[in-house]
């Protein structure tokens, strides 16, 4: 079973920030938080990952609480193209091998509306 809990759906107005929450209360010290998204009829796409510090890249920001039991993915200026299912995944550091498989939950369906 997935180790994360996400709301099934969220709406966001175009141009506004989209804040997607994820609970991972059983996360262990060596586990990272990954975010992927899946646009309709496409395969999942890597967005960002983090361990304990907040992270930012060209796509998004990831805010992880101090106790690491939850995190928020932030899309600062959502566009219609950001409409997708967003998956929060917790997994250990990858050293190679099949433990690298990602365990997806059902994710959050984000709808960006004009």
Partner 1 sequence: GAGVSQSPRYKVAKRGQDVALRCDPISGHVSLFWYQQALGQGPEFLTYFQNEAQLDKSGLPSDRFFAERPEGSVSTLKIQRTQQEDSAVYLCASVFKRDNINEQFFGPGTRLTVL
| Residues contributing to the site for partner 1 (CB under 8 A) | 2, 32, 41-46, 49, 87, 91, 93-98, 100-107
Q: Which is nearer to partner 1, 80 or 102 (CB)?
A: 102
Torsion, Cα 10 12 18 19, to 10 degrees, reads -40
Rounded CA-CA distance 79/111 in Å is: 10
Q: Which is nearer to partner 1, 42 or 67 (CB)?
A: 42
Q: Which is nearer to partner 1, 97 or 114 (CB)?
A: 97
Strand order in the sheet with 45-50: 9-13, 108-113, 84-92, 31-38, 45-50
Query: How near is the Cβ of 105 to partner 1 at its closest, in Å?
Result: 6
Tokens (6 digits) for 31: 């586990």
Query: How near is the Cβ of 6 to partner 1 at its closest, in Å?
Result: 10
Query: How near is the Cβ of 13 to partner 1 at its closest, in Å?
Result: 25
């Amino acid at each position: 079973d997935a180790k994360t809990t996400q709301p099934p759906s969220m709406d966001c107005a175009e141009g506004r920030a989209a804040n997607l929450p994820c609970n991972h209360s059983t996360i262990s010290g060596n586990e990272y938080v990954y975010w992927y998204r899946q646009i309709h009829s496409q395969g999942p796409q890597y967005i960002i990952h983090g361990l304990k510090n907040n992270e930012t890249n060209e796509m998004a920001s990831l805010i992880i609480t101090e106790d690491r039991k939850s995190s928020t993915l932030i899309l600062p200026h959502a566009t219609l193209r950001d409409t997708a299912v967003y998956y929060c995944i917790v997994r250990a550091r990858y050293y190679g091998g099949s433990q690298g498989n990602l365990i997806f939950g059902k994710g959050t369906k984000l709808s960006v509306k004009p």
